Structure 1
């Protein structure tokens, strides 16, 4: 869990905290001061920069960041990104409109080439662990967290969504076809043959896994769900847990106590699991936000 990915993940968390505590201007200054100038910044970094500058009454800086991302670096975003109200102060500028037009063309071109990427090529170990990224992530980001985790008799592979977020970043939409993408990947694992198959999800990747169990009837042996995003009603949560129970799938959930969006969903999952007498392991981590725990191998080793 080293390098740029962890730095950006934690930096975004800290920046968001400062927006709530001191406003966008202070958050913007904090972000600029803590970015590594020697690294290539992701499209998400630039999104933070130009949105924060725009809402801090710094329109020229916002436009400059936007131009650097799109015109200079060749990046692009989903069209919805340009609808963000944070950009209202600059959207009538010619510079903004050129960036939007350029980005839209690149997005449309990328859509034509978009495909699911599953890293599995052959069987190297008896057991398999497949990691699904979260929104605004990719396989490289997942790999940065898992590459140093050694699990005896397991090979670790990665599944990247074909649903585009922005340049080199992807997402699992709540109502997208992620379950079908995952089911197709699991069919490949069946064809190759493994003794045990474990699915790991982070954030929206967890929702895709649970949807696939209900909608596509996939049956992994175990699930490891980190900071799980499970945007469903109580009735749907009941359906998910009944499917897990019926298929005898073991589940471990790890969620930070500071994860404001996902913690209530984990609590609902726990409540429904207890009601339905479904045994699962849930760990709430003090001081952790919406991210992987630092001692990731501890949880993985104990569970597998």
Structure 2
């Protein structure tokens, strides 16, 4: 079980059995991980705090901030899950240290793209989701190497916590994507595919609509796409004008994203755009087991 699967199962248990069972499950299984990210620690101290385990919550927090030297966005410490810790001096100390590190990191954070030079006639550019990074993307998408495409990754400048990044709904994502595309010989590739997970999908769609970014296909996995709530018609027209083929993959149990996907799919069908939609039974906000097969069928079907 990798980190994403572990945290997703923890979230399921919160809804099924409550925070205490979810906390006990996470504590029992964290040692199967090679390392614990700032997100794992966030789950640990939040779940401990909401399970009346204040002392354990503070120990996890101190391990993250003091021992591991991690940090978080200041908003993290305003979470109501941490209300029971707010007045503790240890909590205040960790919060202050974290904010100082965050502000320092914010000043120097830059968009990171793995592209160095052109090595194929086809290019796939992958955008991570929130609380992720390029390394996390590579774990899932690396199977595409050797499939006649050059696979590269784009990491946001918008920081979330230590070594994890995010794409804000109305943030600078489209600008970052456009500037990256302008710097990597994008138009010299015959076949260009943009791929995103979760919030990365919203950046792709905003970039196509607002920055006239052009490609042959887009792959949207577990797409968090609030863009469909406003001016969706302008998005549809941009996709139609540039003849962009769309693949949407979403879990039927993905409560946050499923409704948005349905709205988007309906609009695409109404405008007779080329859309392929897969709703995966029993899947939450995650990749399906046959993800590799789905993607390969989509990118190779015209070859």
TM-score range for the pair, normalised by the shorter chain length: over 0.9
Instruction: Give the Cα–Cα distance (whole angstroms) in 1 for the partners of residues 186 and 250 of structure 2.
Output: 33
Question: Is 1:7–2:5 an aligned residue pair?
Answer: no
* Root-mean-square deviation over aligned CA pairs: 1.4
- The residue aligned with 1:159 is 154
How many residues are aligned here? 299
Extract unaligned runs of 5+ from structure 2.
Answer: none
Instruction: Tell me the alpha carbon deviations over residues 98-157 of structure 1, each in whole angstroms, 9 at most, x when there is no partner.
Output: 000000000011011100000000111111000000000000000011123345320100
Residues 130-279 of structure 1 mapped to structure 2, 5 A cutoff: 130-190=125-185, 193-279=188-274
Q: Give SS of 1:89's match.
A: helix
* Maintained 8 Å contact 2:195/2:201: yes
Q: Give SS of 2:153's match.
A: strand
Shift of 1:163: 0.2
Instruction: Give the Cα–Cα distance (whole angstroms) in 1 for the partners of residues 118 and 292 of structure 2.
Output: 23
The answer to which of 33-42 and 65-74 deviates more is: 33-42
- The residue aligned with 1:45 is 40
The answer to which of 161-170 and 282-291 deviates more is: 282-291
- The residue aligned with 1:56 is 51
* Maintained 8 Å contact 1:151/1:301: no
Normalised TM-score (structure 1):
0.95
* Maintained 8 Å contact 2:2/2:33: no
Extract unaligned runs of 5+ from structure 1.
Answer: 1-5
Instruction: Give the Cα–Cα distance (whole angstroms) in 2 for the partners of residues 38 and 272 of structure 1.
Output: 41
* Maintained 8 Å contact 1:55/1:87: yes
Normalised TM-score (structure 2):
0.95
- The residue aligned with 2:27 is 32
* Maintained 8 Å contact 2:3/2:33: no
* Maintained 8 Å contact 1:90/1:96: yes
Instruction: Give the Cα–Cα distance (whole angstroms) in 1 for the partners of residues 11 and 22 of structure 2.
Output: 7
Q: Give SS of 1:129's match.
A: strand
- The residue aligned with 1:114 is 109
Instruction: Tell me the alpha carbon deviations over residues 31-83 of structure 1, each in whole angstroms, 9 at most, x when there is no partner.
Output: 11111256220000000000000000111000000000000001000000001
Instruction: Give the Cα–Cα distance (whole angstroms) in 2 for the partners of residues 208 and 191 of structure 1.
Output: 17
